[in-house]
Amino acid sequence: MTVGSEASYDVVIVGSGAAGLTAALNLAERCRVLVLAKGGLSEGSTAWAQGGIAAVLEEGDSFADHVRDTMVAGAGLNDRDVVEFVVEGAPAAIERLAALGVPFNAGEAAERWHLTREGGHSHRRIVHVDDATGWAVQQALERAAALNPNITLRPHMVAVDLVTGRHAETPSADRRVRGVYAVNKETGRVELFTGRATILATGGAGRAYLYSTAPRGATGDGIGMAWRAGCRVSNMEFMQFHPTCLYNLETKNFLITEAVRGEGGHLRLPGDGHRFMPDFDPRAELAPRDVVARAIDHEIKRLGLDYVHLDISHLAPEFVEAHFPTIHAKLLGLGIDMRQEPIPVVPAQHYTCGGIVVDRNGRTDLPGLYAAGECTESGLHGANRLASNSLLECFVFGEAAAKHILAHADDLPPPPPIRPWDESRVTHSDEEVVVHHNWREIRRFMWDYVGIVRTTKRLERALRRVELLRAEVDEYYGHFRVTPDLIELRNLVEVAGLIVRSALARRESRGLHYTLDYPEMLPNAVDTVLTPPAHG
Ligand code: FAD
Ligand code: SIN
């Protein structure tokens, strides 16, 4: 099904993380695939993942237990069929990664893998590569993709918008997606990439918040693009805050993996060393993340603290060093010896549970458009993601989308002639300060008004600011050449609006969405689904 010209591929994938590369490797058996990344190939969240990948591998564990734990964390909002589909796909996904050369830590004696434990899991279930699992996975996927002649990797290309019928040389109302326009960071020019199918695998939107464990590129670009093209977006109010991000004035977004608590680390108050989690939940430090993050937030606000302590110094120093070599080395460089002293930590935004609505095959609302990974809302996570279920979702849905495209390859029409990007009516910006100011402003008010504990009044304040910024950004976008920063800002405003509107629509507290105005959980679990106005 090859199309021909230089910029035409069978499938265009936006994103080179776990979801994008998994889809590419599966498609490349029969298709010519293009993978775009807006920075280096390893600059997404995948490479930063520490803890690992959840899979039922321990004796005595069962799919039913993993499904139950996922749904307990998700506060009843998960789609059970999807949860079963992903959980049951986990062991095979781990095998495929091992076959690609991911050096998962071995277990003792009869156990093939070492399994660590994380909050909300009733069993040891997390397969890992020390405390830097994501880096090992990313490198294995990249190696395999680079060796595959059917995969073209194009880093430093920033997708701007999806191409549909309105971009055709003979414009039409056809909503079928035909590829993307993307800015080449080296030349600054916008290039056109067409395909019979397009997959968004652009990761999350964590950088809408001032403090986030996510990399700088997590600006919700895929969610923004899909929404503008006419896709529904769901459950954006469920932003996950990781309880233990390092508190350090210079290093603002370094995660301390949940596995530190999983292996026995305790959360303590800095003054008297009181271990406070048992006061909040019988599961103590291993309660689901929303519970732990809220407890820390409560203690920080109650006592006027800057941080709390995460302490694993009561375990043998050799054990700590062997299990957490990356974190230990990083902290030592900052003057903290985790073998002997506690680590100062605060909650920070970590994961975007909501996103583009997809079905079990990764299909979105638009023909020809698929999505996988953190940019989606597949029904797996519900109101709160269970730790280490997200890499897993990338592998299962990356493969599912690829399989669906392969199965329907003959039905996917080639794109019609598409117009090149038109820059005739814009000029170079003379006011870059607007972009940088607005970036900072969004991230600040999202942190202050749309954080761990919310109120309707604060959300309304945030909405007023989003609307003001949106008008400014739209005006700016209409007049000036697109730049990577402007593209990200435009998407950040879009997703900030989606988060705030979803949060206002939910008149209860459930999972990650906690509001003082509606502290109770309603009897029925209902998704928040937003439909783009022009397509509603
Ligand atoms: P990403 O890996 O984020 O990749 C996104 C890709 O899209 C990148 O290549 C990026 O360049 C590209 N992209 C984005 N926008 C554009 C654009 N406009 N144009 C072109 N390309 C674009 N999950 C677990 O299951 N276990 C863990 O242990 C774990 N630890 C984590 C630790 C940290 C610090 C963080 C931040 C997350 C962690 N997570 C973990 C979550 C998990 O890493 C992510 O959910 C997952 O990696 C997302 O993969 P993805 O393929 O969807 O997106
Ligand atoms: C961690 O290692 O704590 C992160 C795990 C995850 O986000 O799933």
What is the secondary structure of 412-466 as a DSSP string? SPPPPPBPPP--TT-B--S-HHHHHHHHHHHHHHHHHHSSSSB-HHHHHHHHHHH
Q: 125, 178, 232, 289: which is the annotated catalytic residue? A: 289
The answer to whether residue 37 sits within a structural domain is yes
Residues in contact with ligand 1 by the CB-under-6-Å rule are 14-20, 36-39, 43-46, 48-53, 133-134, 157-159, 201-203, 213-214, 217, 221, 255, 351, 373-374, 388-391, 394
Q: Which one, of 22, 27, 25, 29, lies nearest residue 44 by Cα?
A: 22
Range of the domain at 333: 242-350
268 in any annotated domain: yes
Predicted pLDDT at 7: 85
Residue 53 lies in a domain: no
31 & 156 share domain: yes
Give the model's pLDDT for residue 424: 79
CA dist., res. 437 & res. 402, Å (int): 40
| Total number of domains in the chain | 3
Cα(320)–Cα(325) distance, integer angstroms:
8
The yes-or-no answer on residue 289 being catalytic is yes
Q: How close is the Cα of 291 to the center of ligand 2, in Å? A: 15
Same domain, 203 and 313: no
With b for 16 or more beta-carbon neighbours within 10 A and e for fewer, the 242-251 pattern comes to: bbbbbbbeee
Confirm whether 42 is domain-assigned.
yes
Atom of ligand 2 nearest to the CA of 118: 3
Query: Would you call 93 helix, strand, or coil by DSSP?
Result: helix
pTM of the model: 0.96
In the prediction, which pLDDT does 5 show? Answer: 38
Kindly identify the ligand whose nearest atom is closest to the C-alpha of 204: 1
Strands 179-184 and 157-163: antiparallel
Q: What is the domain-level CATH number for residue 401?
A: 3.50.50.60
* DSSP-derived 3-state class of residue 113: strand
Going by C-alpha positions, the residue among 239, 445, 270, 448 that lies closest to residue 345 is: 270
Residue 474: enclosing H or E segment and its boundaries?
A: helix 456-479
In a domain, 421, yes or no: no
Q: How many CB atoms lie within 10 A of CB 493?
A: 27
CATH number of the domain encompassing residue 475:
1.20.58.100
pLDDT the model gives residue 536: 43
Mean pLDDT of each 10-residue bin along the chain, 536 residues long: 60 98 97 97 97 94 97 96 98 97 89 90 96 97 98 98 96 96 95 97 97 96 98 98 93 91 96 96 92 94 94 97 96 97 96 98 98 98 96 98 96 92 80 86 94 96 97 89 94 98 98 97 97 75
Helical pair 432-449 and 456-479, crossing angle rounded to 10 deg:
160
Do residues 171 and 229 share a domain? yes
Q: For residue 473, what pLDDT is reported? A: 92
Q: What's the pLDDT score for residue 252?
A: 78
Rounding to the nearest 10 degrees, give the CA dihedral for residues 408, 411, 414, 415: -90
452, 203 contact by CB (below 8 A): no
Same domain, 215 and 257: no
In-domain check, residue 532: no
In angstroms, rounded to a whole number, what is the distance separating the alpha carbons of residues 235 and 357? 9
User: Looking at the structure, do residues 267 and 344 belong to the same domain, yes or no?
Assistant: yes
Q: Is residue 119 part of a domain?
A: no
Q: Is 533 domain-assigned?
A: no
Q: What is the pLDDT of residue 535?
A: 55
Q: Enumerate the β-bridge partners of residue 529.
A: 234
Domain end point (choices 411, 444, 461) = 411
Say if residues 405 and 370 touch (Cβ distance below 8 Å).
Answer: yes
